[in-house]
Structure 1
Protein backbone atom coordinates (compact mmCIF):
# COMPACT_ATOMS: atom_id res chain seq x y z
CA UNK A 1 0.00 0.00 0.00
CA UNK A 2 1.54 3.32 -1.12
CA UNK A 3 1.64 6.35 1.16
CA UNK A 4 0.33 9.82 0.32
CA UNK A 5 3.63 11.25 -0.94
CA UNK A 6 4.83 8.20 -2.85
CA UNK A 7 5.93 8.69 -6.48
CA UNK A 8 4.66 5.29 -7.54
CA UNK A 9 0.99 5.84 -6.88
CA UNK A 10 -1.35 4.10 -9.35
CA UNK A 11 -1.15 7.19 -11.56
CA UNK A 12 2.66 7.29 -11.31
CA UNK A 13 2.94 3.60 -12.09
CA UNK A 14 0.82 4.12 -15.17
CA UNK A 15 3.10 6.92 -16.46
CA UNK A 16 6.16 4.78 -15.75
CA UNK A 17 4.71 1.80 -17.57
CA UNK A 18 3.70 3.90 -20.59
CA UNK A 19 7.24 5.29 -20.90
CA UNK A 20 8.62 1.74 -21.09
CA UNK A 21 5.89 0.07 -23.15
CA UNK A 22 4.64 2.81 -25.47
CA UNK A 23 7.62 5.18 -25.75
CA UNK A 24 10.20 2.37 -25.60
CA UNK A 25 12.31 3.83 -22.81
CA UNK A 26 15.00 1.49 -21.50
CA UNK A 27 14.16 0.04 -18.08
CA UNK A 28 17.26 1.56 -16.48
CA UNK A 29 16.48 5.05 -17.77
CA UNK A 30 12.83 4.83 -16.63
CA UNK A 31 13.95 3.55 -13.21
CA UNK A 32 16.33 6.48 -12.79
CA UNK A 33 13.62 8.91 -13.86
CA UNK A 34 11.19 7.57 -11.22
CA UNK A 35 13.87 6.92 -8.58
CA UNK A 36 13.10 3.20 -8.27
CA UNK A 37 14.87 -0.06 -9.00
CA UNK A 38 15.00 -1.70 -12.41
CA UNK A 39 13.08 -4.65 -11.00
CA UNK A 40 10.23 -2.38 -9.92
CA UNK A 41 10.09 -0.67 -13.29
CA UNK A 42 9.98 -4.04 -15.06
CA UNK A 43 7.20 -5.30 -12.78
CA UNK A 44 4.86 -2.38 -13.55
CA UNK A 45 5.68 -2.53 -17.25
CA UNK A 46 4.85 -6.22 -17.38
CA UNK A 47 1.58 -5.67 -15.52
CA UNK A 48 0.64 -2.90 -17.96
CA UNK A 49 1.27 -5.24 -20.91
CA UNK A 50 -0.84 -7.99 -19.31
CA UNK A 51 -3.69 -6.10 -17.62
CA UNK A 52 -3.61 -2.54 -18.88
CA UNK A 53 -4.65 0.28 -16.55
CA UNK A 54 -6.38 -2.19 -14.16
CA UNK A 55 -3.00 -3.76 -13.36
CA UNK A 56 -1.65 -0.59 -11.76
CA UNK A 57 -3.57 -0.95 -8.46
CA UNK A 58 -2.26 -2.74 -5.37
CA UNK A 59 -2.90 -6.44 -5.12
CA UNK A 60 -3.69 -8.42 -2.01
CA UNK A 61 -0.68 -9.93 -0.28
CA UNK A 62 -2.72 -12.94 0.73
CA UNK A 63 -1.32 -16.29 -0.34
CA UNK A 64 -2.93 -17.94 -3.36
CA UNK A 65 -3.13 -21.23 -1.48
CA UNK A 66 -3.16 -22.09 2.25
CA UNK A 67 -2.27 -25.77 2.60
CA UNK A 68 -2.55 -25.71 6.40
CA UNK A 69 -5.90 -23.91 6.56
CA UNK A 70 -8.70 -25.73 8.35
CA UNK A 71 -10.77 -27.71 5.80
CA UNK A 72 -14.12 -26.22 4.85
CA UNK A 73 -15.91 -29.34 6.10
CA UNK A 74 -14.47 -28.85 9.58
CA UNK A 75 -15.35 -25.15 9.53
CA UNK A 76 -18.95 -26.06 8.72
CA UNK A 77 -19.03 -28.43 11.68
CA UNK A 78 -17.75 -25.64 13.92
CA UNK A 79 -20.41 -23.20 12.73
CA UNK A 80 -23.08 -25.91 12.95
CA UNK A 81 -22.26 -26.63 16.60
CA UNK A 82 -22.24 -22.91 17.38
CA UNK A 83 -25.68 -22.35 15.81
CA UNK A 84 -27.49 -25.52 16.92
CA UNK A 85 -25.92 -26.10 20.34
CA UNK A 86 -24.71 -22.60 21.22
CA UNK A 87 -21.32 -23.87 22.42
CA UNK A 88 -18.30 -21.70 23.05
CA UNK A 89 -14.92 -22.05 21.27
CA UNK A 90 -13.37 -24.16 24.02
CA UNK A 91 -16.14 -26.74 24.16
CA UNK A 92 -16.36 -27.01 20.36
CA UNK A 93 -12.60 -27.49 20.26
CA UNK A 94 -12.72 -30.29 22.85
CA UNK A 95 -15.40 -32.12 20.90
CA UNK A 96 -13.64 -31.83 17.51
CA UNK A 97 -10.10 -32.29 18.78
CA UNK A 98 -8.98 -28.80 17.78
CA UNK A 99 -7.31 -25.86 19.47
CA UNK A 100 -9.70 -23.31 21.05
CA UNK A 101 -7.77 -20.49 19.36
CA UNK A 102 -8.40 -22.07 15.94
CA UNK A 103 -12.12 -22.40 16.64
CA UNK A 104 -12.22 -18.80 17.85
CA UNK A 105 -10.64 -17.58 14.60
CA UNK A 106 -13.16 -19.56 12.54
CA UNK A 107 -16.07 -18.05 14.47
CA UNK A 108 -14.62 -14.56 14.02
CA UNK A 109 -14.06 -15.15 10.31
CA UNK A 110 -17.70 -16.11 9.84
CA UNK A 111 -18.96 -13.18 11.92
CA UNK A 112 -20.38 -15.14 14.87
CA UNK A 113 -20.97 -12.83 17.86
CA UNK A 114 -19.92 -13.93 21.37
CA UNK A 115 -22.53 -15.96 23.23
CA UNK A 116 -22.72 -13.28 25.92
CA UNK A 117 -24.06 -10.89 23.27
CA UNK A 118 -26.93 -13.14 22.18
CA UNK A 119 -30.24 -14.12 23.70
CA UNK A 120 -30.23 -17.81 24.78
CA UNK A 121 -33.73 -18.48 23.45
CA UNK A 122 -33.62 -16.71 20.09
CA UNK A 123 -29.92 -16.26 19.33
CA UNK A 124 -30.57 -12.57 18.57
CA UNK A 125 -27.59 -10.34 19.17
CA UNK A 126 -27.86 -8.17 22.26
CA UNK A 127 -25.96 -5.17 23.51
CA UNK A 128 -22.40 -5.91 24.55
CA UNK A 129 -21.70 -5.94 28.27
CA UNK A 130 -18.45 -6.72 30.00
CA UNK A 131 -18.52 -7.89 33.58
CA UNK A 132 -15.64 -8.65 35.89
CA UNK A 133 -16.16 -12.07 37.41
CA UNK A 134 -14.46 -13.43 40.50
CA UNK A 135 -13.83 -17.17 40.33
CA UNK A 136 -12.82 -19.68 42.97
CA UNK A 137 -12.43 -23.44 43.19
CA UNK A 138 -11.83 -25.79 46.10
CA UNK A 139 -8.76 -27.99 45.89
CA UNK A 140 -10.16 -31.42 46.75
CA UNK A 141 -13.36 -33.26 45.76
CA UNK A 142 -15.92 -33.01 48.53
CA UNK A 143 -14.51 -29.84 50.07
CA UNK A 144 -17.65 -28.05 48.93
CA UNK A 145 -20.87 -29.35 47.37
CA UNK A 146 -23.38 -26.86 45.99
CA UNK A 147 -27.05 -27.75 46.47
CA UNK A 148 -30.04 -26.03 44.93
CA UNK A 149 -33.56 -26.58 43.56
CA UNK A 150 -34.73 -25.56 40.09
CA UNK A 151 -38.46 -25.19 39.40
CA UNK A 152 -39.47 -26.32 35.90
CA UNK A 153 -42.94 -26.26 34.36
CA UNK A 154 -44.19 -29.53 32.90
CA UNK A 155 -45.11 -29.88 29.24
CA UNK A 156 -48.75 -30.59 28.28
CA UNK A 157 -49.48 -33.53 25.99
CA UNK A 158 -49.00 -32.49 22.37
CA UNK A 159 -46.27 -29.97 23.16
CA UNK A 160 -46.11 -26.58 24.81
CA UNK A 161 -45.85 -23.00 23.62
CA UNK A 162 -42.15 -23.24 22.86
CA UNK A 163 -43.00 -25.70 20.06
CA UNK A 164 -46.36 -24.51 18.75
CA UNK A 165 -46.46 -20.88 19.89
CA UNK A 166 -48.44 -19.40 22.73
CA UNK A 167 -51.85 -19.64 21.04
CA UNK A 168 -51.78 -23.36 20.30
CA UNK A 169 -49.69 -24.08 23.37
CA UNK A 170 -52.45 -22.69 25.57
CA UNK A 171 -55.02 -24.84 23.76
CA UNK A 172 -52.98 -27.97 24.53
CA UNK A 173 -53.25 -27.20 28.21
CA UNK A 174 -57.08 -27.31 28.03
CA UNK A 175 -57.44 -25.63 31.40
CA UNK A 176 -55.45 -28.38 33.17
CA UNK A 177 -52.63 -27.41 35.50
CA UNK A 178 -49.79 -29.78 34.72
CA UNK A 179 -47.72 -28.58 37.64
CA UNK A 180 -43.97 -28.36 38.03
CA UNK A 181 -40.87 -30.43 38.47
CA UNK A 182 -38.63 -29.47 41.35
CA UNK A 183 -35.16 -30.48 40.19
CA UNK A 184 -32.94 -31.06 43.23
CA UNK A 185 -29.26 -30.70 42.30
CA UNK A 186 -25.95 -31.29 44.04
CA UNK A 187 -22.70 -30.31 42.28
CA UNK A 188 -19.18 -30.92 43.59
CA UNK A 189 -17.15 -27.72 43.42
CA UNK A 190 -13.82 -29.29 42.44
CA UNK A 191 -14.85 -31.92 39.87
CA UNK A 192 -18.27 -30.57 38.74
CA UNK A 193 -19.69 -34.02 39.39
CA UNK A 194 -23.48 -33.68 39.61
CA UNK A 195 -26.24 -35.69 41.23
CA UNK A 196 -29.79 -34.67 40.37
CA UNK A 197 -33.37 -35.88 40.80
CA UNK A 198 -36.77 -34.83 39.47
CA UNK A 199 -39.08 -34.53 42.49
CA UNK A 200 -42.63 -33.29 42.95
CA UNK A 201 -42.02 -30.66 45.64
CA UNK A 202 -39.40 -28.73 47.60
CA UNK A 203 -40.52 -29.61 51.11
CA UNK A 204 -38.09 -30.38 53.88
CA UNK A 205 -38.77 -34.13 53.64
CA UNK A 206 -37.89 -34.13 49.94
CA UNK A 207 -34.78 -32.00 50.45
CA UNK A 208 -33.53 -34.19 53.30
CA UNK A 209 -34.20 -37.41 51.41
CA UNK A 210 -32.49 -36.05 48.33
CA UNK A 211 -29.35 -35.14 50.26
CA UNK A 212 -29.22 -38.58 51.88
CA UNK A 213 -29.23 -40.21 48.45
CA UNK A 214 -26.82 -37.63 46.99
CA UNK A 215 -24.35 -38.12 49.84
CA UNK A 216 -24.52 -41.89 49.35
CA UNK A 217 -23.80 -41.37 45.65
CA UNK A 218 -20.74 -39.22 46.34
CA UNK A 219 -19.46 -41.75 48.87
CA UNK A 220 -19.89 -44.56 46.32
CA UNK A 221 -17.41 -42.83 43.99
CA UNK A 222 -14.90 -42.07 46.74
CA UNK A 223 -15.87 -38.47 47.56
CA UNK A 224 -16.25 -37.58 51.22
CA UNK A 225 -18.33 -34.42 51.56
CA UNK A 226 -16.99 -31.84 54.01
CA UNK A 227 -19.22 -28.83 53.35
CA UNK A 228 -22.60 -28.15 51.75
CA UNK A 229 -23.61 -24.73 50.41
CA UNK A 230 -27.32 -23.91 49.97
CA UNK A 231 -29.51 -20.85 49.77
CA UNK A 232 -31.78 -19.73 52.58
CA UNK A 233 -34.84 -21.71 51.50
CA UNK A 234 -37.19 -22.97 54.20
CA UNK A 235 -36.42 -26.61 53.42
CA UNK A 236 -32.71 -26.02 54.01
CA UNK A 237 -33.30 -24.25 57.32
CA UNK A 238 -35.28 -27.16 58.75
CA UNK A 239 -34.01 -29.45 61.47
CA UNK A 240 -34.74 -32.45 59.27
CA UNK A 241 -32.26 -31.27 56.65
CA UNK A 242 -29.68 -30.55 59.36
CA UNK A 243 -30.10 -34.11 60.63
CA UNK A 244 -29.57 -35.50 57.11
CA UNK A 245 -26.24 -33.66 56.93
CA UNK A 246 -24.98 -35.29 60.11
CA UNK A 247 -22.23 -34.09 62.38
CA UNK A 248 -19.33 -34.35 59.94
CA UNK A 249 -20.71 -32.04 57.23
CA UNK A 250 -20.66 -28.27 57.68
CA UNK A 251 -23.72 -26.44 56.39
CA UNK A 252 -23.01 -23.04 54.82
CA UNK A 253 -25.60 -20.65 53.42
CA UNK A 254 -25.40 -17.97 50.76
CA UNK A 255 -25.96 -14.29 51.40
CA UNK A 256 -29.63 -13.34 51.02
CA UNK A 257 -30.56 -12.34 47.47
CA UNK A 258 -27.09 -13.28 46.20
CA UNK A 259 -27.46 -16.40 44.02
CA UNK A 260 -24.00 -15.69 42.58
CA UNK A 261 -22.54 -17.16 45.77
CA UNK A 262 -23.90 -20.53 44.71
CA UNK A 263 -22.90 -19.92 41.12
CA UNK A 264 -21.71 -23.40 40.16
CA UNK A 265 -25.03 -25.08 40.80
CA UNK A 266 -26.83 -22.10 39.25
CA UNK A 267 -24.72 -22.65 36.13
CA UNK A 268 -25.64 -26.32 36.24
CA UNK A 269 -29.31 -25.31 36.28
CA UNK A 270 -28.80 -23.19 33.20
CA UNK A 271 -26.91 -25.95 31.43
CA UNK A 272 -29.71 -28.42 32.17
CA UNK A 273 -32.26 -26.06 30.67
CA UNK A 274 -30.23 -25.38 27.53
CA UNK A 275 -29.02 -28.93 26.85
CA UNK A 276 -31.96 -30.97 28.11
CA UNK A 277 -35.18 -29.16 29.03
CA UNK A 278 -35.27 -26.80 26.02
CA UNK A 279 -32.76 -28.52 23.76
CA UNK A 280 -35.41 -29.81 21.33
CA UNK A 281 -39.20 -30.02 20.97
CA UNK A 282 -40.90 -32.61 23.19
CA UNK A 283 -44.36 -34.01 22.57
CA UNK A 284 -45.00 -34.71 26.25
CA UNK A 285 -43.47 -34.34 29.68
CA UNK A 286 -42.98 -38.10 29.90
CA UNK A 287 -40.71 -38.01 26.87
CA UNK A 288 -38.61 -35.22 28.34
CA UNK A 289 -38.37 -36.76 31.81
CA UNK A 290 -37.25 -40.11 30.36
CA UNK A 291 -34.22 -38.42 28.77
CA UNK A 292 -33.08 -36.70 31.95
CA UNK A 293 -31.00 -39.60 33.29
CA UNK A 294 -29.37 -40.04 29.88
CA UNK A 295 -28.44 -36.36 29.74
CA UNK A 296 -27.07 -36.45 33.30
CA UNK A 297 -24.88 -39.42 32.38
CA UNK A 298 -23.55 -37.48 29.38
CA UNK A 299 -22.88 -34.48 31.62
CA UNK A 300 -20.85 -36.50 34.12
CA UNK A 301 -19.04 -38.88 31.75
CA UNK A 302 -18.71 -37.33 28.29
CA UNK A 303 -19.32 -33.59 28.35
CA UNK A 304 -16.14 -31.53 28.32
CA UNK A 305 -16.12 -28.64 30.81
CA UNK A 306 -14.29 -25.44 30.00
CA UNK A 307 -13.33 -24.94 33.66
CA UNK A 308 -11.78 -28.42 33.69
CA UNK A 309 -9.68 -27.86 30.58
CA UNK A 310 -11.98 -29.90 28.35
CA UNK A 311 -12.19 -32.85 30.73
CA UNK A 312 -15.35 -34.40 32.12
CA UNK A 313 -16.03 -35.08 35.82
CA UNK A 314 -15.36 -38.76 35.10
CA UNK A 315 -11.78 -37.85 34.17
CA UNK A 316 -11.23 -36.36 37.63
CA UNK A 317 -13.15 -38.99 39.61
CA UNK A 318 -11.57 -42.36 38.73
CA UNK A 319 -14.09 -44.34 40.77
CA UNK A 320 -16.90 -42.96 38.62
CA UNK A 321 -15.67 -45.18 35.81
CA UNK A 322 -14.78 -48.11 38.03
CA UNK A 323 -11.05 -47.39 37.95
CA UNK A 324 -10.31 -47.67 41.64
CA UNK A 325 -7.01 -46.26 42.83
Structure 2
Protein backbone atom coordinates (compact mmCIF):
# COMPACT_ATOMS: atom_id res chain seq x y z
CA UNK A 1 0.00 0.00 0.00
CA UNK A 2 2.84 2.39 0.83
CA UNK A 3 4.47 1.82 -2.58
CA UNK A 4 1.17 2.67 -4.29
CA UNK A 5 0.80 5.85 -2.26
CA UNK A 6 4.39 6.89 -3.05
CA UNK A 7 3.85 6.24 -6.75
CA UNK A 8 0.75 8.45 -6.66
CA UNK A 9 2.64 11.08 -4.61
CA UNK A 10 0.06 11.04 -1.85
CA UNK A 11 2.12 9.26 0.82
CA UNK A 12 2.55 12.44 2.88
CA UNK A 13 -0.24 14.51 4.38
CA UNK A 14 1.07 17.91 3.35
CA UNK A 15 -2.19 19.63 4.32
CA UNK A 16 -1.98 18.75 8.02
CA UNK A 17 0.45 19.60 10.79
CA UNK A 18 2.69 16.62 11.63
CA UNK A 19 2.49 17.25 15.38
CA UNK A 20 -1.18 18.06 15.95
CA UNK A 21 -2.81 16.56 12.85
CA UNK A 22 -4.73 19.80 12.37
CA UNK A 23 -5.05 21.45 8.93
CA UNK A 24 -2.18 23.85 8.18
CA UNK A 25 -3.33 27.45 8.01
CA UNK A 26 -0.95 29.33 5.76
CA UNK A 27 -1.03 33.10 5.84
CA UNK A 28 0.32 35.58 3.34
CA UNK A 29 0.96 39.27 3.86
CA UNK A 30 -0.63 41.90 1.62
CA UNK A 31 2.17 44.47 1.61
CA UNK A 32 5.91 44.79 2.40
CA UNK A 33 6.64 45.47 6.06
CA UNK A 34 3.32 44.16 7.35
CA UNK A 35 5.19 41.35 9.14
CA UNK A 36 8.92 40.73 9.45
CA UNK A 37 10.21 37.42 10.85
CA UNK A 38 13.37 37.50 13.01
CA UNK A 39 15.46 34.62 14.35
CA UNK A 40 18.99 33.52 15.31
CA UNK A 41 20.83 30.43 14.05
CA UNK A 42 23.79 29.12 16.08
CA UNK A 43 26.78 27.61 14.24
CA UNK A 44 30.10 26.34 15.50
CA UNK A 45 33.11 28.45 14.49
CA UNK A 46 35.57 27.08 11.93
CA UNK A 47 39.20 26.78 13.13
CA UNK A 48 41.97 28.44 11.16
CA UNK A 49 43.17 26.04 8.49
CA UNK A 50 39.77 24.34 8.26
CA UNK A 51 37.83 21.84 10.33
CA UNK A 52 36.73 18.24 9.93
CA UNK A 53 34.47 18.93 6.95
CA UNK A 54 37.46 19.79 4.73
CA UNK A 55 40.27 17.71 6.31
CA UNK A 56 38.54 14.85 8.10
CA UNK A 57 38.40 14.17 11.81
CA UNK A 58 42.10 13.77 12.55
CA UNK A 59 43.53 16.96 11.00
CA UNK A 60 40.36 18.91 11.70
CA UNK A 61 40.68 18.11 15.40
CA UNK A 62 44.33 19.19 15.41
CA UNK A 63 43.40 22.52 13.84
CA UNK A 64 40.67 22.99 16.41
CA UNK A 65 43.08 22.32 19.27
CA UNK A 66 45.73 24.63 17.80
CA UNK A 67 43.44 27.57 17.12
CA UNK A 68 41.00 27.46 19.99
CA UNK A 69 40.61 30.60 22.06
CA UNK A 70 42.64 30.00 25.27
CA UNK A 71 40.43 32.53 27.08
CA UNK A 72 37.46 30.18 26.62
CA UNK A 73 37.51 27.23 29.08
CA UNK A 74 36.75 23.77 27.72
CA UNK A 75 33.15 22.75 28.30
CA UNK A 76 33.84 19.14 27.29
CA UNK A 77 37.13 17.43 28.20
CA UNK A 78 39.36 16.96 25.17
CA UNK A 79 37.26 19.19 22.92
CA UNK A 80 38.43 22.66 21.92
CA UNK A 81 35.97 25.43 22.74
CA UNK A 82 36.14 27.54 19.56
CA UNK A 83 32.98 29.45 20.31
CA UNK A 84 29.98 30.01 18.09
CA UNK A 85 28.75 32.14 15.24
CA UNK A 86 25.24 33.53 15.77
CA UNK A 87 23.52 34.30 12.46
CA UNK A 88 20.82 36.92 13.10
CA UNK A 89 18.28 37.06 10.27
CA UNK A 90 15.21 39.10 9.36
CA UNK A 91 12.93 38.37 6.40
CA UNK A 92 9.94 40.32 5.14
CA UNK A 93 6.86 38.11 5.03
CA UNK A 94 5.52 39.63 1.80
CA UNK A 95 8.54 40.22 -0.44
CA UNK A 96 10.85 37.62 1.20
CA UNK A 97 13.59 40.25 1.19
CA UNK A 98 16.18 39.04 3.72
CA UNK A 99 18.91 40.60 5.85
CA UNK A 100 21.43 38.60 7.92
CA UNK A 101 24.55 39.22 9.96
CA UNK A 102 27.03 36.77 11.51
CA UNK A 103 27.67 38.02 15.07
CA UNK A 104 29.43 36.76 18.19
CA UNK A 105 26.48 36.40 20.58
CA UNK A 106 22.71 36.55 20.89
CA UNK A 107 22.35 38.98 23.79
CA UNK A 108 19.57 41.54 23.92
CA UNK A 109 21.99 44.38 23.12
CA UNK A 110 23.35 42.53 20.08
CA UNK A 111 19.87 41.59 18.89
CA UNK A 112 18.66 45.20 19.20
CA UNK A 113 21.70 46.56 17.34
CA UNK A 114 21.14 44.02 14.56
CA UNK A 115 17.45 44.88 14.40
CA UNK A 116 18.24 48.59 14.04
CA UNK A 117 20.51 47.85 11.07
CA UNK A 118 17.91 45.47 9.60
CA UNK A 119 15.22 48.19 9.78
CA UNK A 120 17.58 50.58 8.00
CA UNK A 121 18.14 47.93 5.32
CA UNK A 122 14.41 47.49 4.81
CA UNK A 123 13.84 51.26 4.83
CA UNK A 124 16.39 51.56 2.03
CA UNK A 125 14.12 49.30 -0.03
CA UNK A 126 10.97 51.29 0.72
CA UNK A 127 9.79 48.97 3.52
CA UNK A 128 8.50 50.30 6.84
CA UNK A 129 8.24 47.58 9.49
CA UNK A 130 4.80 47.41 11.13
CA UNK A 131 5.06 44.14 13.06
CA UNK A 132 7.83 41.72 13.99
CA UNK A 133 7.52 38.02 14.88
CA UNK A 134 10.17 36.20 16.94
CA UNK A 135 10.49 33.08 19.04
CA UNK A 136 10.74 33.12 22.83
CA UNK A 137 14.51 33.59 23.05
CA UNK A 138 15.83 35.54 26.02
CA UNK A 139 16.78 38.55 23.87
CA UNK A 140 13.25 38.85 22.50
CA UNK A 141 11.66 38.49 25.94
CA UNK A 142 13.87 41.16 27.47
CA UNK A 143 12.61 44.50 28.81
CA UNK A 144 15.01 46.30 26.45
CA UNK A 145 13.45 44.65 23.37
CA UNK A 146 9.92 45.38 24.61
CA UNK A 147 10.62 49.01 25.44
CA UNK A 148 12.38 49.66 22.14
CA UNK A 149 9.42 48.39 20.15
CA UNK A 150 7.01 50.35 22.27
CA UNK A 151 9.05 53.46 21.49
CA UNK A 152 9.14 52.66 17.77
CA UNK A 153 5.44 51.81 17.57
CA UNK A 154 6.19 48.36 16.14
CA UNK A 155 3.97 45.52 17.27
CA UNK A 156 5.96 42.56 18.59
CA UNK A 157 4.52 39.03 18.57
CA UNK A 158 6.11 35.79 19.77
CA UNK A 159 5.51 32.23 18.63
CA UNK A 160 3.92 29.59 20.80
CA UNK A 161 6.42 27.65 22.89
CA UNK A 162 7.99 24.77 20.94
CA UNK A 163 6.18 25.78 17.76
CA UNK A 164 8.90 27.03 15.35
CA UNK A 165 6.50 26.42 12.43
CA UNK A 166 4.78 29.70 13.34
CA UNK A 167 7.97 31.51 12.35
CA UNK A 168 8.36 29.27 9.32
CA UNK A 169 9.56 31.85 6.80
CA UNK A 170 12.71 32.70 8.73
CA UNK A 171 13.19 29.05 9.73
CA UNK A 172 13.19 28.20 6.01
CA UNK A 173 15.69 31.01 5.42
CA UNK A 174 17.92 29.50 8.11
CA UNK A 175 17.85 26.16 6.31
CA UNK A 176 18.70 27.83 3.00
CA UNK A 177 21.57 29.69 4.68
CA UNK A 178 23.01 26.40 5.91
CA UNK A 179 22.66 24.66 2.56
CA UNK A 180 23.81 27.44 0.25
CA UNK A 181 26.20 29.52 2.37
CA UNK A 182 27.45 27.93 5.60
CA UNK A 183 28.05 24.37 4.31
CA UNK A 184 28.04 24.77 0.52
CA UNK A 185 31.76 25.58 0.36
CA UNK A 186 34.67 24.19 2.34
CA UNK A 187 35.97 27.24 4.21
CA UNK A 188 39.44 27.32 5.74
CA UNK A 189 38.54 29.81 8.48
CA UNK A 190 35.58 31.39 10.23
CA UNK A 191 36.64 34.77 8.83
CA UNK A 192 36.33 33.45 5.27
CA UNK A 193 32.86 32.04 5.90
CA UNK A 194 31.56 35.26 7.45
CA UNK A 195 33.05 37.34 4.63
CA UNK A 196 31.06 35.29 2.09
CA UNK A 197 27.70 36.07 3.70
CA UNK A 198 27.07 39.50 2.16
CA UNK A 199 27.65 38.26 -1.40
CA UNK A 200 25.32 35.32 -0.83
CA UNK A 201 22.62 37.63 0.55
CA UNK A 202 22.85 39.82 -2.55
CA UNK A 203 22.41 36.71 -4.69
CA UNK A 204 19.44 35.60 -2.58
CA UNK A 205 17.67 38.97 -2.77
CA UNK A 206 18.46 39.96 -6.36
CA UNK A 207 19.03 36.80 -8.40
CA UNK A 208 17.88 33.59 -6.70
CA UNK A 209 14.38 32.45 -7.81
CA UNK A 210 11.91 32.05 -4.95
CA UNK A 211 9.15 29.48 -5.45
CA UNK A 212 6.70 31.43 -3.26
CA UNK A 213 7.15 34.45 -5.56
CA UNK A 214 6.52 32.65 -8.84
CA UNK A 215 10.26 31.90 -9.26
CA UNK A 216 11.14 35.60 -9.10
CA UNK A 217 13.76 37.04 -6.72
CA UNK A 218 12.56 38.97 -3.64
CA UNK A 219 13.69 42.37 -5.00
CA UNK A 220 10.93 42.19 -7.63
CA UNK A 221 8.29 42.42 -4.89
CA UNK A 222 9.71 45.55 -3.28
CA UNK A 223 8.34 48.99 -4.02
CA UNK A 224 10.12 52.36 -4.29
CA UNK A 225 13.37 50.70 -5.30
CA UNK A 226 15.45 52.12 -8.14
CA UNK A 227 14.59 50.26 -11.32
CA UNK A 228 11.51 48.62 -9.85
CA UNK A 229 8.07 49.96 -10.74
CA UNK A 230 5.68 47.20 -9.60
Q: Same fold (TM over 0.5)?
A: yes
Is 1:130 the counterpart of 2:12? The answer is yes
Contact kept, 8 Å, 1:212 with 1:244, in 2: the verdict is no
Partner-residue secondary structure (3-state), 1:237: coil
State the distance in 1 between where 2:225 and 2:204 align: 13
Match of 1:225 in 2: 129
Range 296-305 or range 309-318, more displaced: 309-318
Count of aligned residue pairs for this structure pair: 199
Distance 1:269 1:277 in 2: 10
Gapped regions of structure 1 (runs ≥ 5): 1-112, 114-127
Aligned partners of 1:211 and 1:244 also within 8 Å: no
Deviations 1:242-280 (A, max 9, x none): 233234211000000111110100000000010000001
Say if 2:227 is the partner of 1:317: no
Q: Kindly provide the CA deviation profile for residues 186-231 of structure 1, in whole angstroms up to 9, marking residues without a partner as x.
A: 0000110011111111001011111111112212211111110000
Between Structure 1 and Structure 2, the one with more strand by share is 2
1:144-183 deviation line (CA, Å, top 9, x unaligned): 1000001111111121111222222112111623211111
- What is the distance in 1 between the residues matched to 2:114 and 2:122? 12
Corresponding residue of 1:210: 114
Say which structure is richer in helix: 1
Return structure 1 stretches of 4+ with deviation > 3 angstroms: 318-325
Q: 1:210 to 1:269 in 2, by over 3 A?
A: same
Higher-Rg member (1/2): 1
Measure the CA separation in 2 of the matches of 1:324 and 1:254.
34
Q: What TM-score does the superposition give when structure 2 sets the normalisation length?
A: 0.81
Q: Give matches, 1:12-31, under 5 Å.
A: none
Structure 2 CA distance for aligned equivalents of residues 174 and 320 of structure 1: 48
- Greater relative contact order (Cα 8 A, min sep 6): structure 1 or 2? 2
Among candidates 143, 148, 165, match of residue 56 of structure 2: 165
Tell me if the contact between 1:314 and 1:321 (Cα under 8 Å) persists in the aligned partners: no
Would you say the 8 A contact 2:46–2:190 is kept in 1?
Answer: yes
Change (3 A) 1:261 1:320: same
Shift of 1:320: 4.2
